[in-house]
């Protein structure tokens, strides 16, 4: 049978000696690991900034929205900025930070995974296109040299500490 998984190298090859205490995926899931958080991030990437809009567009309660937005600000993915409509009290909007912007390929990959594996009979509800040339946008695993990489072509090594 053909290999379809990543290769663990060095100290990682012996799984009984490896723990997930410093696992980046675990840390990411602690920051983002629920549906409402990911949908808030989706909306932020679509340009939503106002609290009431997050509540409405994600379909969550105000209490859940407040808690999730607080968590995303604390995690450094959103920044809370004051704004004031004429004649109104000061309120806050939520804008993506550089770390929040870095999440875009993850959101695209999740969307496309859902399109492939949880397909609706009518097809994907949305498609992504490059604004300049109108070609489809896809999430791909690539090496720094620009080669598209399959899972079996990836070797996982422990990072060297400086």
Domain ranges of the chain: 7-13+22-156
Task: State pLDDT tens for residues 87-129.
Answer: 999 999 999 999 999 999 999 999 999 999 998 888 889 999 9
Topology, domain 7-13+22-156: Arc Repressor Mutant, subunit A (1.10.10)
Mean pLDDT of the residues in the chain: 90
Q: Which 3-state string (H, E, C) describes the chain?
A: CCCCCCEECHHHHCHHHCCCCCCHHHHHHHHHCCHHHHHHHHHHHCCCCEHHHHHHHHCCCHHHHHHHHHHHHHCCCEEEEEEECCCCCEEEEEEECHHHHCCHHHHHHHHHHHHHHCCCCCCCCCCCECCCCCCECCCCCECCCCCECCHHHCEECCCCCC
pTM: 0.85
Task: State pLDDT tens for residues 4-31.
Answer: 888 888 888 887 777 777 788 888 888 8
Mean pLDDT is lowest, of 17-21, 53-57, 79-83, for: 17-21
């Amino acid at each position: 049978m053909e290999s379809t998984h990543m290769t663990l190298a060095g100290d990682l090859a012996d799984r009984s000696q490896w723990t997930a205490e410093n696992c980046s995926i675990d840390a990411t899931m602690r920051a983002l690991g629920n549906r409402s958080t990911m949908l808030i991030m989706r909306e932020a990437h679509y340009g939503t900034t106002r609290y009431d809009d997050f509540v409405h567009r994600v379909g969550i309660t105000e209490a859940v929205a407040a808690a999730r937005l607080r968590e995303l600000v604390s995690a450094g993915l959103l920044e809370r900025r004051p704004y004031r409509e004429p004649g109104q009290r000061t309120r806050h909007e939520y804008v993506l930070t550089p770390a929040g912007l870095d999440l875009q390929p993850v959101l695209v990959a999740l969307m496309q995974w859902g399109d492939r594996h949880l397909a609706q009979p009518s097809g994907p509800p949305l498609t992504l296109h490059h604004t300049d040339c109108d070609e489809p946008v896809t999430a791909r695993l690539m090496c720094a040299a620009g080669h598209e990489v399959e899972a079996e072509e990836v070797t996982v090594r422990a990072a060297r500490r400086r």
